[in-house]
Amino acid sequence: MTSEVERQSTSSAIKAEYKRMLTIRRDDLVAVAVNAGLVTICWFLLPDTALNWLFALHGALAFAYVLEMWMLADAPATNVLGRDPDRALSLLHDPAAMRQWLRAKHIALWTFVGPPCAVVALVIGIARGQYMHAVAVALIVLSLPLGVLSVAAWIGIWLPYHPRGLLWRWRHRSDWRGAVLRWGILVLLPFLVVPVIAVLLLAPTLLIWTLVAHPQPLRDVGPAGLWLGTAVACAVSLIVFALGPVITSKIARRRLDRLSGYLSNPEHG
């Protein structure tokens, strides 16, 4: 009975998050779509010199991974409390409900990132005749956002901010540390932190591929090593997805007073 109630509650939380994203917080999807458009334009239109400077990874299948990182590297992934302060405030005293809410948010955002990038990987790999590699990359980019989002949420626990328009920030420019500098750093921070989180989650897989296929892991790895590394990547992401919100709720509990004071006042910016 309890597990059935929990499943229903989780399902309701996910539905509520979809509704939020499609109504009052549609800018979450706008941010994801804009980042996807920017990376696509840069990837296919920039000259090779600029492309090599902007992206560390190259190759057709690498595009699916880079696309995913840019889609995730924004406020919807990191500023989880600041973008929904009323709901966050109501859950700060209930760690179990907080964990459920965070997982619902991660699953909802994952829907618009993981599956589309997996399809991109499959299309590119099939078009190039790299069938096994296409499936492997698709499985990794399908599962990776769940782990990345679970860790990226920690940023918003330590440093949340209220989404305010540029006009509001201009009017409050006298408070340059809080309304301008702090906000500017936190807007740019996801583009640096999210790829690092992804690399850390993929480190065991990259190690496996390097050991079995040095010096070009993905290209030279055999079927056994390819699927072993893929399975490890998926397992790590799912484990982090399960444990990440637990850590997040504990951090929020320890910072309860500060978070309550900050989230309850939109004028903090």
Q: Are 208 and 228 in contact (CB under 8 A)?
A: yes
Question: Which residues form the domain of 183?
Answer: 2-268
* Closest to 83 in 3D by CA, of 24, 33, 158: 24
pLDDT at residue 218, rounded to an integer? 59
Which of 31-35, 157-161, 197-201 is least confident? Answer: 157-161
The C-alpha atoms of residue 49 and residue 78 are separated, in whole angstroms, by 31
Residue 59 DSSP one-character state:
S
pLDDT digits (tens, 9 = 90+) for 176-189: 777 788 788 888 88
Q: Are 10 and 100 in contact (CB under 8 A)?
A: yes
Higher pLDDT, 210 or 232: 232
The label of the residue with tokens 């496996």 reads 208
pLDDT digits (tens, 9 = 90+) for 95-115: 999 999 999 999 999 999 999
Task: Record the tokens describing residue 32, joined without a space.
Answer: 């994801």
Torsion-angle region of residue 129: left (phi > 0), alpha (psi -120 to 50) or beta?
left
The label of the residue with tokens 């690092």 reads 196
Domain count, the chain: 1
Q: Are 63 and 120 in contact (CB under 8 A)?
A: yes
